[in-house]
Structure 1
Amino acid sequence: MNFVYPFLVAFFLLPFEQKFLRLKETLPHWDKRLKYTRLIGFGLLGFQVVFSIKWLVPPIFFGLLAMSAVPAYLLRNETPKARLLLWMIGPFGIVYLMDNLAKYWTPKFYKSHEEIFDSATGMALLSMFVFALMARNQQKSFDKALNEERLKREQEEEANRILEAKKLDLESQVAERTAEILKQKEELQHALDNLKATQEQLIQSEKLASLGELTAGIAHEIQNPLNFVNNFSDVSVELLEELEEERKKEATERDTELEEEILNDLIQNLQKINHHGRRAASIVSGMLQHSRANTGKKEITDINVLADEYMRLSYHGLRAKDKSFNANMVTEFDPTMSKLEVIPQDLGRVFLNLINNAFYAVYQHSLRPEIAGSGYQPTVWVKTKRQPESVEICIEDNGMGIPDEVKSKIFQPFFTTKPTGQGTGLGLSLAYDIVTKGHGGTIELESTEGKGTKFIINLPIG
Structure 2
Amino acid sequence: MSVNGAILFAIPIALLIVRSLRRFLDLPKRLPGWDKFLNSIWIPAIVLFLIAWAFKLKTSQLDETYFLFVFGVVVAVLVQVRDYRPARTLLLAIAPYVLYSAIELLLAVTDWDLLKRYDGFFDNSRGFAVIWLITFILIARNQKKHLEKERLQREEEEKAKQLIEAQNAELERLVAERTATLTQQAEELRDALTELRAMQAQLVQAEKMASLGELTAGIAHEIQNPLNFVTNFSDVSAELVSELEEEQQRPERDPGLEAELLDDLKQNLQKITHHGQRAASIVRGMLEHSRASTGERQPTEINNLADEYLRLAYHGLRAKDKTFNATLATDFDPAVGPIEVVSQDLGRVLLNLFTNAFYAVQKRKEACPDAGYTPTVTVSTHRNTATEVEIRVCDNGLGIPEAVRAKIFQPFFTTKPTGEGTGLGLSLSYDIITKGHGGTLTVKTQEGEGTEFIITLPA
**TM-score of Structure 1 vs Structure 2, range by shorter chain:** 0.3 to 0.5
Larger radius of gyration: 2
TM-score by length of 1: 0.47
